[in-house]
Structure 1
Amino acid sequence: MISQNQIDKASNFLKLHKEEKILTLLNSWDPGSSKLIEASGFEAIGTTSMGISASLGYPDCQAIPFQEMVDAVKRIVEKVTLPVTADIEGGYGKNINEIVNSSRQILLTGIVGINIEDSYDLNPKLVDSIEFCERISAIREMAKSLGIHLVINARTDVFITSSGSENDRLKESIDRGNKYQEAGADCIFIPDVWQKEKIRTLVQEIDAPINILSNPTNGTGFPPSIKELEEIGVARVSLGSSLMKSTLASIRKIGQEVIEEGTYKRLSEHLEPISETLLAYKMATEKNKSH
């Protein structure tokens, strides 16, 4: 049910969070985008729930039927050799049993890690921290019973959902981060934090590796560079949904130019150097076949 290869990948993925070099993740939504990420030299792949949902015609925030999400993640895992960590949003369940069952189904696709968040979908409200800790602990026990150390990346949405002061939100993020680590989380994911000093405080005050979201598309600021985040001590950085948003924006802009002006300037710009891209994709495909 859980292969030795999956167990080994999970162990290696966990180690990547503890090295001096920052773990950088591009987030994919299908086998094609995943193969290109693998061919680009990354050490692991994270999925984007928004990207998978959009690619299948659904809005974000758990609007996609869970089985379609499972199937999409499985297709990705089957086409790449890198460890894959899956974004399962709030857990696709109304209670702990349902969330653990959803986590188990995702785990059986061959993934080695999950992101799970502590906010209600489509509602700017945080899950009670004790309840969320119970979810983390239950998922940890489920994975342990299957003989694998699933890498749990616990996301706290304090900076997204709370209306308190910056200092209050920073304090609550630290409090939740440490509670989640004690409950069994391997890494704490804190989106929408841009200021380097706040990130430094999170790194110093939370007793776990820290994951920062570098997503310049949300309009609230521009993230520090990968090098700057590494110097601060951030263990993991992910681009989240921004790669898919960039792709969708390119399609829209190219389409507008074609229909309004009848020209292909933007299309031509995005096609260069297409030969290198196609070669990288071909090499990734051949690499996967050899495994």
Structure 2
Amino acid sequence: MQVRNDILFHSLHADGLLMLANCWDAGSARIAQAAGARALATSSAAVAWSHGFADGSTLPRALLMASVEGILRASALPLTVDAEDGYSDDPAQAAALAGELIDAGVVGINIEDGAGTPALLADKIGAIRALADARGVKLFINARTDVYLRGVEPGARVEETIRRAALYQEAGASGLFVPAMVAEDDIAAVIKATRLPLNVMVRDGVPPLARLLQLGVRRLSAGSAISEATFGCIDALTRQFLDSGTVNQAGFPRMGYGALNSLMG
């Protein structure tokens, strides 16, 4: 009997390290799947940039949903979506967005405290959990806290992260995402203090994979890094073409027309 994707996605956090090479459209999702990804995740920044919008809840919801639907058309892997702040300060509206994503076939979301208060994110998580439970979906709610990204006093970061983790777990979160936390001691302290699977993000200073496993990290996200590299290649090659009339991909890996056409077919 086939395991439901929502249950499968939860199980991928139970042991080992889930690697999420964040995608932004159907094509990047197919590449991730072909490369061996066990699940898919979007990056809010990458999705926004692919549509010509800045990151930060500026992307129209219709375009977010179009990207999600494209990814789900291209791949049957479990998909978690970066919902930023839920696109609203109203927990009911954040839950309504989660409902749209659930209806589309999404099995996980990231939702962040960002510039808002921890209490507000807890309210959003509670509303989303209630909606998902009512629909019989075991939605993986990955609570992202921006304690490190927002520059909280260094000496208080671990304590504040642990405090928020407890609040978000009580509200119904399934996991904890702490981008920009890279120090081993900080990672170990947070893991010891919470039962939520810990998600960290690729960043200079992040311990190597073997060490992350030893520490007990359960999820590693690429974030916007792959998209940044992709757009960097586009920028460099576009400028080269406009300057010289040539496209010399030396230094940039190239899949080739045939390989790409076969993959997308």
TM-score by length of 2: 0.93
Q: Which amino acid aligns with 1:138?
A: A
**Structure 1: how far apart are the matches of 2:159 and 2:68?**
35
Q: What is aligned with 1:223?
A: 206
1:59 maps to 54
Q: Does structure 2 retain, via aligned residues, the 8 Å contact 1:85–1:111?
A: yes
Number of residue-to-residue matches in the alignment: 265
Percent identity of the aligned residues?
Answer: 29
Deviating more after overlay: 221-230 vs 110-119:
221-230
Q: More helix per residue: 1 or 2?
A: 1
1:24-46 Cα deviation digits (max 9, x unpaired): 00000000000000011110000
The 1:39/1:280 distance shift into structure 2, 3 A limit, reads farther
Measured in 2, the distance between the counterparts of 1:15 and 1:281 equals 33
Query: Aligned equivalents of 2:77 and 2:68: distance in 1?
Result: 13
For residues 261 and 71 of structure 1, do their structure 2 counterparts lie closer, same or farther at Cα, with a shift above 3 Å needed? closer
Alpha-carbon distance in 2 for matches of 1:256, 1:39: 30
Deviation at 1:81, TM superposition (A): 1.3
1:155 maps to 2:151: no
Structure 1 residues 173 and 82, CA, compared in 2 at 3 Å: closer, same or farther?
same
2:169 corresponds to 1:181 = yes
SS of 1:160's partner is coil
* TM-score, structure 1 as length reference: 0.85
Which of 61, 69, 73 does residue 74 from structure 1 map onto?
69
Report the Cα distance in structure 2 between the residues aligned to 1:202 and 1:18, rounded to whole angstroms: 17
Alpha-carbon shift at residue 226 of structure 1 (Å) = 2.2
Residue aligning to 1:28: 23
Distance 1:56 1:89 in 2: 16
Measured after TM superposition, the shift of residue 281 of structure 1 is: 6.9
For 1:9 and 1:142, locate their aligned partners in 2 and report how far apart those are by CA, in whole Å.
Answer: 18
Instruction: Specify which of 239, 252, 256 is matched with residue 270 of structure 1.
Output: 252
Task: Kindly provide the CA deviation profile for residues 107-153 of structure 1, in whole angstroms up to 9, marking residues without a partner as x.
Answer: 1111100000001xxxxx3x222222121111011001111110100
**Partner amino acid for 2:232?**
A
Determine the structure 2 residue equivalent to 1:144. 133
- Residues 36 and 281 in structure 1, CA contact (< 8 A), matched pair in contact too: no
Runs in 1 of length 4+ with deviation above 6 angstroms?
none
**Any unmatched runs of 5+ in structure 1?**
120-124, 287-291
Cross-structure match for 2:90: 95
**1:253 and 2:233 aligned:** no
Query: 2:185 and 2:89 mapped to 1: Cα distance?
Result: 37
Distance 1:64 1:271 in 2: 30
